[in-house]
Amino acid sequence: MLLIPCPNCGPRDETEFRYGGQAHVAYPENPAELSDREWAEYLFYRDNPKGAFAERWLHSTSCRQWFNMLRDTSTYEIQAVYPMGQLRPAAGPTAPILPTPVSPEGAVK
Partner 1 sequence: MADTAALSTAEIQTLRQSPAALLSAAFDAGSVAGTVELRELPFLTMVGIRVDPASAAGMDLGTFTGGLPAASGIVRTSGDTSVLWLGPAEFLLVAAPESHDSLGGEFPRALIDTLGSGAGQVVDLSANRTTFELSGRRARSVLEKGCSLDLHSRVFNTGTALSTEIGGIPAILWKTDEETYRILPRASFSQFLGRWLLDAMREYASDEVP
Q: Is 106 in the site for partner 1 (CB under 8 A)?
A: yes
Would you say 1 or 43 has its CB closer to partner 1?
A: 1
Interface with partner 1 includes 16 (CB under 8 A)?
A: yes
Rule CB under 8 A: say whether 103 interacts with partner 1.
Answer: yes
Contact 57, 19 (CB under 8 A): yes
Binding map of partner 1 across residues 21-60, x = CB under 8 A, - = no contact: ----------------------------------------
Which residues here bind partner 1, judged by CB under 8 A?
A: 8-10, 12-13, 15-16, 61-65, 102-106
